[in-house]
Structure 1
Amino acid sequence: MFPLAKNALSRLGVRSIQQTVARQSHQKRVPDFHDKYGNAILASGAIFCVAVWTYVSTID
């Protein structure tokens, strides 16, 4: 009986996860800070690092 109960519980868990994912996919998601500014912050950080390393490597 234990394998049968374990199988039933695992199926319920999978089904509830699938329902949650389906519900979330239909909701409109408002962009957060990372969606709005993530790429700009990443690019500016990369440019800053390159600029600093260029400056440091060219000092006599």
Structure 2
Amino acid sequence: MYRFAKAALNITGRSARQVAVRHGSSDASNDFHAKYGTPLLIAGATFCVAVWGYVGTSTGITWNLSPVGKVQPKEWRD
């Protein structure tokens, strides 16, 4: 068990160092987010609102949002 734990820690440490080295040397992701981040966020939010608007109005699902006044107790049988 000791060997396995030691090997697992060695692998995770090595991969964490590789990710840190790769991440620090690339500005491509920063450029992408600076250029397309806001429009992509707005497009995603618009799509989400449009889909849920369609689901909420056109599919005929009964949502049963509030049970107040709709739930009636059953008569007790003797």
TM-score (norm 2): 0.40
- Which one has the bigger helix percentage? 1
Name which one, 1 or 2, has greater alpha-carbon Rg.
2
TM-score (norm 1): 0.46
